[in-house]
Amino acid sequence: MERILSGIKPTGQLTLGNYIGALRHFKDFQDNGEVFIFIADLHALTLPIDPEVLRQNSRDIAAFYLASGLDPKKATIFLQSTVSAHSELNSIVQNYLYMGELSRMTQFKDKSAKMNDKEIGLGLFAYPVLMAADILLYDAKTVPVGEDQLQHIELARDLVHRFNHKYGDILVMPQGKVNKVGARIMSLSDPTKKMSKSDPKGDIFLKDDMKTIRKKIMSAVTDMEALVYYDPVNKPGVSNLLTIYAALNDITIEEAAKHFEGCTRYGDFKKEVADTVERELAPFKARYEEIIASGEYLDVLKEGAKKANAIANVTLKRVQNAVGLLTLE
Ligand code: TYM
């Protein structure tokens, strides 16, 4: 069965962008493939974070995974830090990725540009190395992500080429998979910027209450034309709302645009978008609350760690053996 892997980093509050671009789709793979979904907690340490916030965010993501419909009987759900093979494979594969290519990564450039040199940790620079290790450990063929992660997956692919060229057929070639609609949801307050966990104004957080979410949608930045059609260059705000509407209704952008053809009041348009978001998120949020209250995610993570360790250690051994580390069994 084909392996599928993805993860979310517990750095801040999850957004509607994370939900539409990634989280919402993980469950779609669990009936036909072997799914590994993890909380990328080691990755969260690449930027300064309070330990209690990190713990809370990690619990939240575990509960959100379950609330999204991921079934722990079908999918392996785990914390990255509970599988030490991630760090061990990282320390091997880091030798096959190079400073030049890492310094060209958009995410590194964006994040480090906002910091002064003294604050930029080596982990932030080496972030894609650990991410490659995450993917390769599980022999994952498919990696469902939002558009912003594709560059990192390309780097993992380069690594596989390089490594297999040198050592033979050891690593499985992964492929990033983004959705046709909603791979890049933009900020509601500045639709030329990606919606991200660090922007409280323009972002819908999955933990916001429904009233706040509706309010944020109703006050989303649009334009003066009062016509609803898709044109991300000239109408980024309207196009972003259309994308959200299309993604959550599982229709194409064209179908969404057709639905709003002739609509000349952005208030009406936004209200329909808000209704769609509420229809999707209200039951999801209710399930999340139940899961957090019951603490059931803890057993899921424990069980997930066992299953993930068993599989990851097999790959790790294969790689250790290939590069010439002595095995004693
Ligand atoms: P992270 O935590 O930043 O984001 C989690 C997922 O959400 C997607 N995403 C978006 N999709 C659409 N619109 C947006 N505005 C938006 N913002 C975020 C991301 O593309 C991602 O799929 N490096 C990863 C975590 C990770 C990982 C991995 C993922 C670590 N190792 C291995 C896949 C495989 C990250 O920081 O995602």
CB atoms closer than 10 angstroms to residue 5: 26
Residue 111 falls in the annotated catalytic set: yes
Return mean pLDDT, the chain. 96
191-194 own/partner pairs: CB under 8 Å, 24+ apart: 191/220, 191/221, 191/236, 191/237, 191/239, 191/240, 192/236, 194/17, 194/148
Strands 75-79 and 34-39 turn out to be: parallel
pLDDT for the residue 197: 82
70-90 pLDDT, tens per residue?
999 999 999 999 999 999 999
Distance from residue 148's CA to the centre of ligand 1 (Å)? 7
Distance, CA of 263 to CA of 185 (rounded, Å) = 22
7-49 pLDDT, tens per residue?
999 998 999 999 999 999 999 999 999 999 999 999 999 999 9
Residue 246 contacts residue 252 (beta carbons within 8 Å)? yes
Distance, CA of 1 to CA of 192 (rounded, Å) = 40
**pTM surpassing 0.85?**
yes
Which one-letter DSSP state was computed for residue 100? H
Distance, CA of 304 to CA of 125 (rounded, Å) = 29
204-226 pLDDT, tens per residue?
999 999 999 999 999 999 999 99
pLDDT for the residue 238: 98
Instruction: For residue 253, name the pLDDT band (cuts at 50, 70, 90).
Output: very high
Residue 64 contacts residue 23 (beta carbons within 8 Å)? yes
The stretch 239-263 carries a mean pLDDT of: 97
Residue 61 CB–ligand 1 contact under 6 Å:
no
Residue 275 contacts residue 218 (beta carbons within 8 Å)? no
pLDDT for the residue 198: 76
pLDDT for the residue 328: 84
- Which of 27, 74, 111, 306 is catalytic? The answer is 111
Residue 199 CB–ligand 1 contact under 6 Å:
no
Distance from residue 21's CA to the centre of ligand 1 (Å)? 8
- Can you read off the two tokens belonging to residue 299? 């057993």
Strands 3-8 and 34-39 turn out to be: parallel
For residue 323, is pLDDT > 90? Answer: yes
- In this structure, which residue's CA is closest to atom 26 in ligand 1? 7
For residue 230, is pLDDT > 90? Answer: yes
Helix axes 266-294, 236-248, angle to 10 degrees: 50
264-318 pLDDT, tens per residue?
999 999 999 999 999 999 999 999 999 999 999 999 999 999 999 999 999 999 9
Residue 194 falls in the annotated catalytic set: yes
Residue 211 falls in the annotated catalytic set: no
What string of H, E and C letters represents the secondary structure of 21-79? HHHHHHHHHCCCCEEEEEECHHHHCCCCCCHHHHHHHHHHHHHHHHHCCCCCCCEEEEE
For residue 246, is pLDDT > 80? Answer: yes
- Can you read off the two tokens belonging to residue 57? 């965010």
Contacts of 173 (CB under 8 A, 6+ apart): 141, 157, 160, 161
pLDDT for the residue 11: 94
CB atoms closer than 10 angstroms to residue 162: 15
pLDDT for the residue 159: 98
pLDDT for the residue 294: 97
For residue 200, is pLDDT > 90? Answer: no
For residue 201, is pLDDT > 80? Answer: no
